[in-house]
Amino acid sequence: MTATRLPRASHCALALTAFLLTLLPAARPSAAQNTPIARPIPARVAPPPEYQRAIERGWRSENGAPGHSYWQQGASYDIDARLDPPTAKLEGTVRIAYANNAPATLRTVFVLLHQNFHRADAVRHDPGEITGGITLRRVTAAGAVLEEDELEEGPAYHVDGTVMELRPPSPLEQGDTLQLELEWEMTVPQKGINERMGHSNHEVYFVAYWFPKMAVLDDLRVWDAEPFLGTGEFYDDFANYTVALTVPVDWSVHATGTLQNSEEVYSALTIQRLAAAGVSDTLVMIAGRGERDALAVTADAPEGSLTYRFAAENVRDFTWTASNVQRWDASSAVVPSRTVDGGTDRVLIHALWRPDRAPLWSQAWLYGKQSIEYFSTYTGFSYPWPHMTVVEGTDIIGGGMEFPMLTLLESFGERDAQGLFNTTAHEIGHMWLPMIVGSNEKRYAWMDEGAANFLENQAKMELYPGIDHHRVDARTFLGYAAARQEEILMRHGDWYESSTGYGIASYYKPAALMAALRFVLGAETWDLAYRTYIAEWAYKHPTPWDFFSTFERVAGRDLDWFWTSFYYETWTLDHSVGDVTTSVSGQTTVTIEDRGQAPFPAQVRIRTASGQTLERDVPVEHWLAGNTTYVIDVGRERVTRVEIDPAGYAPDVDRANNLWPRG
């Protein structure tokens, strides 16, 4: 593994941190860092023209909230699919009702075929298993059968990699609904979509990005139909799903949504235990080796197969998992009521794992329960769905990957229980961002990955106190910042020069910046702004400028200096204790130097020989005025120690010079 290439965006903070630290050069301040330099004054944030137009049309607002005329497209999916585990063959039919709510006429529509990432001729960043991708058996639009052809010739479709453009028989006006039906088949790869789905030895299947799906048409760029290349992730609309999944008898299935026919597919014993788990705070084993071997988990099926029927409303995606060997643990989380009655609700927690492959997973149900309960309180937005399912996917994935109501995780060996908790919390944090707050992961990875790292760190401090985990993320990114190996946050996920640059800009730096901004604003103001952002943009598509404006509105402060310096640029912060001098008359002064480019308020703690502790703040406005030094008059006290940023949240690349005397 080289310094410029990571495995796919693993979503595992622990694994990625360990890898990055092996690449990190020793950070030694350059000569330029040791001398105050002329610091640039950050420009005001200038959203792109399409965002300004959206404000003018009432689709978005200057204060960061959705506009009074905000709109997004609507869709419902009705899917029938069948899996043959021994061959990994999957075939299905999807019926899509696509509602055009946009104030525009659509002459063509775009459909995503993510599994074409596995075609031999696919364009991709990293090698991928070749399965042939998706084979389309039949495509119909508005009842007419379409052929693959040039779209200028009339109704037809054209496939280009992972994107299909389709021209229906007649244009789609605002208010119209287009009926599509597609039949397809595919082979489930072992490590599919760059280790985000697949199967383990044909005995565990995790099926994601598996059906033809509408691309997003949004109010800024119209169609956001970009190919999947392996790094930049996904941008999805919210939709309703009804899905029928047929698998061999004795295979249990879990999926996004609510199972509609449990009596038809599960044994009486399984149903009884599930009912117990639904009101339990402790572990209820639904199925172990004994139940699996006795074929006592599912209902009988003389014809040899069972069909599981699921329904889900207003979710970004639909994902499912199936196995006939995994142990099935369950419990339930207690979350604030989703209604105004002030009570509590229960959320089923499932953990599916193989004891011989993942011994640490005996606690996976508990990690899932703790994460759902903590985030439901911290975000101010109670988990809205009936279950959360964590699935062990050894041989499929390294790290973890999130989907609505499910997450796929590696085993984490025999000793790394902390790693299993960390990644479980990280992936479950994604249930809020982007599964509820539907940001564009492909264009702005920091909006969901940085948020998940921040939430993960919060959960770790709640459940594993004694370490400030936000500072761990900060140290990871600051080492690369000092070595000038960062890349900007406001960059498309597929356009980073290196995997290291992507990992720092998407995970560690934005999480550290959230902690730094919380320190600047105060925890109470930060929490209110974050909760406001989540509540206002739930089930919608926010952009970075909505995020920025929401925080400025709640805080009542202009924060362009922060966004510009750290999100649009890779400017570094380096505050230093300069001279500590005492005049002939006994007057002592302390000079604080700004040796970096990024402005940031400085908190200074001074201790004196008489035992006094003096706290002084250097406001960011002082640095924004172009100053590079700030002099503190201590009076006739002899100074014994000076420390900048004693709280430790400023993203300072050289903390050694934050202390005086040095060392």
- What CA–CA distances, in Å, run from 80 to 246, 404, 498? 8, 19, 40
154-163: average pLDDT: 97
Residue with tokens 């903070």: 13
- pLDDT tops 50 at residue 45: yes
Residue 526 has pLDDT above 60, yes or no: yes
**558-599 tens-digit pLDDT:** 999 999 999 999 999 999 999 999 998 899 999 999 999 999
Q: Characterize the bridge pairing of strands 74-84 and 239-248.
A: parallel
Q: pLDDT for 291-304, tens place per residue?
A: 999 999 999 998 99
Report residue 105's pLDDT band, with 50, 70 and 90 as the boundaries. very high
Tens of pLDDT, residue by residue over 458-497, are: 999 887 888 888 887 788 888 888 888 899 999 999 999 9
Structure tokens at 179: 């009926």
Query: Are 257 and 405 contacting, i.e. CB atoms less than 8 angstroms apart?
Result: yes
**Nearest to residue 350, comparing CAs of 394, 401, 387?**
387
Contact between residue 212 and residue 166 where contact means Cβ atoms under 8 Å apart:
no
Domain 13-69+444-568 classified CATH 1.10.390? yes
Q: For the whole model, what pTM was predicted?
A: 0.93
Average pLDDT over residues 313-322: 98
Please give the Cα distance from 47 to 54 (Å, whole number). 11
Residues of the chain with CATH 1.10.390: 13-69+444-568
Query: Quick one: CA dihedral 110, 113, 117, 122, positive or negative?
Result: negative
Residue 10 has pLDDT above 50, yes or no: no
Q: List beta partners, residue 335.
A: 345
* CATH topology (fold) of 575-660: Immunoglobulin-like (2.60.40)
Residue 537 banded pLDDT, cuts 50, 70, 90: very high
Q: In sequence order, what DSSP letters do the residues of 602-623 get, joined into one string?
A: EEEEEEETTS-EEEEEE-HHHH
CATH topology for 76-429?
Answer: Immunoglobulin-like (2.60.40)
How high is the pLDDT of residue 37?
56
Structure confidence at residue 12 (pLDDT)? 43
**What average pLDDT does the chain have?**
93
479's enclosing H/E stretch is helix 469-482
Distance set, CA 525 to CA 133, 522, 552 (Å): 48, 6, 10
Among the listed residues 227, 256, 192, the one whose alpha carbon sits nearest the alpha carbon of residue 112:
227
Do you find a cis peptide bond into 651, omega within 30 degrees of 0?
no
CATH 2.60.40.1730 in the chain is located at: 76-429
